[in-house]
Structure formats: structure tokens, C-alpha cells
Amino acid sequence: MVYVKDTQYYNDALHVMTYPSGTYYLFDTFVIAEMKEGIVYTWEDHARQIVEELTHLYDHNGENIVYISNRVHSYSTRPSDWIKFYRSDFKLRAYGIVSYSKKSLMTAVMEKIFMRNRFQSFTSLDDAIAWAKSLTEKVPVEY
């Protein structure tokens, strides 16, 4: 498993947000989240605050942001809370999960059921970042 802070990407992060539930690395067009071991990630306790902060920091509703969950620790989410996320004004371009274990990979498959945006799972942080960048590259305007 690979932590963002141990990669060449760490120096490219525009901002690092640390919460009791985990750490978020903000880049120009994507966010990488690393949750802490054993957290039960819920809308009320965690996600609402993150969505508000990201909306403020990116100055838009996230529609151009790719979210990558770098699953370096085991934690769980409350699947029914995805509905609360979709009711918020925050949108994502895509959602990616980097899994380092079979259990985490199976969890990602279950989460895909609840996803409305583009979704991809990976076994490599490098691959997830390359995917995120490919989704958000600006297409040159031809005159």
C-alpha cells in the first residue's frame, strides 16, 4: 500500500486537510482521501463538513473534481448516506477507489451500486491518478 505523503505527488498537493477521520490531499482537478483505521464514515459526522470545505476551497460544486479514495486503512461507510451526498449541491466528475486487499476490493464493488457518477477501481495509486488526470485534461480549443 502507498500513502500519498510517500510519493512524488505529495509535493504537488495544493492543500492538505487533516481531520480526525482522515487526510485529504487537494490537487488542481482531483482529491485523494486517506481515511483512518476503523472509522465508520457517515454523512453527518464526516462527509458534510468535507463537502462544505471543498466547495469553498474549489469555489464550485465539484463537478470538475475527481475523488480518489486511497484505501490504505480498513474503514467502513454507511451506504445509505450516499443518498444524502446526492441530495447535496456538491457533484463529482468521477469517483475512484484504490484497493490494496481483497476485502477492500469487494467493498468497492458494493459501493459501485450506489454511485451515479463515473466509477473506477484500481490496485495502484499511480493508475488512479493517471485516470483522474485523463478525465480532467483540458481539451485545446482550435480556432
Per-residue pLDDT tens for 37-85?
999 988 888 888 888 888 888 877 778 889 999 999 988 887 777 677 7
pLDDT at 55: 82
Cell of 52: 462544505
Give the residue with greater pLDDT, 117 vs 36. Answer: 36
pLDDT at 107: 65
Q: Which H or E element spans position 53?
A: helix 48-58
Give the residue with greater pLDDT, 74 vs 102. Answer: 74
Alpha-carbon span 64 to 135, nearest angstrom = 9
Beta bridge partners of 119: 95
pLDDT at 143: 44
Average pLDDT of the chain is 84
pLDDT at 52: 86
Q: By percentage, how much of the chain surpasses pLDDT 90?
A: 45
Domain 4-135 classification at class level: alpha beta
pLDDT band at 36; cut points 50, 70, 90: very high
With contact defined as beta carbons under 8 Å apart, do 64 and 93 qualify?
A: yes
